[in-house]
Amino acid sequence: MAGENRQIDPVLSALIAPMSAKPRHAVVRRHEAMMRELRYLSEREVPDKNLAFIRKRSWTDERLSVLFALNSVYQEVLGPFSASARGGTAGIGTEHPITHGSLRFDSATAYRANSAMNDFSEIVYKMEFRIEWLWHNTCSDLIYYIAQYERENFDRQ
């Protein structure tokens, strides 16, 4: 069952390896919370209909764990980093650098953030996940949107 062996997901492990301690712990905590929620949805008395449906469509706990790992990295690290790189019409943070503590947000930072997000999006695409699945906050939310996607594809077949 989901998350019973307390080993870290190998994809999660690879994604967090270059991170410093604080973001690494935040990502791991988020992933663990999603795995606990998956376990709860799996074990409750009345099974979750969306989870049951996607499992019939080849969504294993391992596959969901990989998606949760990507989602956790996006939510805790890349999403906020990418948001800092979005230049507004005034050019704040790109043409007009911002310094916040030891951090400097400028065009070079924006380039690195956009490059990282593009690379990450490519990984998500190659894993055959949808980028918008990274935007959802909970396991239940993800399962709902996966089931919705699978139903749309199932109806077309």
DSSP string, 70-106: HHHHIIIIIHHHHHHT---TT-BTTTB-EEETTEEES
The pLDDT value recorded for residue 5 is 45
Rounded-to-integer distance, Cα 87 and Cα 99, Å:
15
Residues 74/76/81/83 CA torsion (nearest 10 deg)? 80
Residue 82's CB is within 10 A of a number of other CB atoms, namely 18
Task: Give the pLDDT mean for 90-103.
Answer: 65
Rounded-to-integer distance, Cα 3 and Cα 72, Å:
15
Length of the chain: 157
Give me the percent of the chain exceeding a pLDDT of 90.
66
What's the pLDDT band for 3 if we cut at 50, 70, 90? very low
Per-residue pLDDT for 1 more than 50?
no
Rounded-to-integer distance, Cα 129 and Cα 144, Å:
14
State the angle between helix axes of 21-43 and 61-73 in degrees (0 to 180), rounded to the nearest 10.
140
The better pLDDT of the pair 38, 107 is held by: 38
Query: Model confidence over 16-70: pLDDT tens digits?
Result: 999 999 999 999 999 999 999 999 999 998 889 999 999 999 999 999 999 999 9
User: What's the whole-model pTM score?
Assistant: 0.84
Rounded-to-integer distance, Cα 34 and Cα 131, Å:
18
